[in-house]
Amino acid sequence: MSLLRTRGLRAFYGDFQALFDVDVDVADGETVAMIGANGAGKTTFLRAVMGALAAEPGMVVYDGHPIGGRSPHDIVRLGIAMVPEGRKLFPSLTVEENLLIGAYCRRPGHWNLERVFALFPMLAERRGIPADSLSGGQQQMAAIGRALMSNPRLLLCDELSLGLAPVAIKDIYACLAAIAAEGTTLVIVEQDIARALAASDRFYCMQEGRVALSGPADQVNRQAITTAYFGV
């Protein structure tokens, strides 16, 4: 069953068109990877789904309902959460407070402070310190935990591995697998192609605002990816 479906999704930054007729399907419980070069439109896609960019209602359909163009706080309420690019934790808040703000809209579900701390024990040890004094990997975990606190059905992850050490990336993806195993649907935007494909069921490759290639993650043709990624 399709949880998220975009049809003919177009997005603009002012006069500049960033997405051209993007069609994407994400089934309930799937993990879908979006790969592509910088500026290809991956983050723009997530932002359009999240309501941070204007879109026509029918362009984004979630659980059968058109949600395009609704404001982000409405969309969180419907069960979509975002782990933003660059973590974007709140510096004035402690680790625990950052997690708590994720639960602002109070959606029912099994994720709460205890369970998030169980998933990320090193956050529990540091719950009372300002969030920006964590290491990069810890911040990423806090950002994921914060998104989980709203009990989303669909989790959008933007560039999780950016700026992190390989060890930290490994841990993060292990946690992602655990989250996916619980039934949460994931859309992962990644520049690390191997990592993204290894973690996902299907993938889309974006290039200059369009879907250049898509398919199952385990039947990937190296050559096809390179062509789709770079457009050469």
Partner 1 sequence: MNWLSILVQGVLLGGLYALFAIGLSLSFGIMRLVNIAHGDLIVLSAFVALVVVNGLGMPPFASLAVVIPAMFAVGYALQRGLLNYTLGGSLLPPLLVTFGVSVIIQNLLLEGFGAHVRRLQAGAIETESIVLPSGLAVGVFPLLVFAIAIVAIASLQLLFFRTGLGRAFRAASDDATTAELMGVDNRHLYALAMAIAMVFTALAGVLFAIRTTFDPASGPIRLIFAFEAVIIGGLGSFWGTLVGGMVLGIAQAIGAALSPTWQILAGHIAFLVVLIVKPSGLFPRTRE
Give the binding site for partner 1 (CB under 8 A). Answer: 50, 52, 71-73, 76-77, 82, 84, 88, 90-93, 97, 100-102, 104-105, 146, 150
In angstroms, give the least distance from the CB of 170 to partner 1. 26
Residue whose CB is less far from partner 1, 92 or 223: 92
And the tokens for 79?
A: 């069960």
**With respect to partner 1, which residue has the nearer C-beta, 82 or 205?**
82
Tell me the β-bridge partners of 213.
205
Angle 33-199-63 from CA coordinates, rounded to 5°: 50
Q: How far is the CB of 145 from partner 1 (least distance, A)?
A: 12
Type and span of the H or E element at 22: strand 16-27
Closest separation between CB of residue 226 and partner 1, Å? 33
Nearer to partner 1, 21 or 74 (CB): 74
The rounded distance, in Å, linking the Cα atoms of 180 and 36 is: 22
CB of 115 to partner 1, least distance (A): 18
Residue 91: Cβ within 10 Å count? 10
Nearer to partner 1, 25 or 63 (CB): 63
Minimum distance, C-beta of residue 54 to partner 1, in the bound complex (Å): 14
Closer of 144 and 213 to partner 1 (Cβ): 144
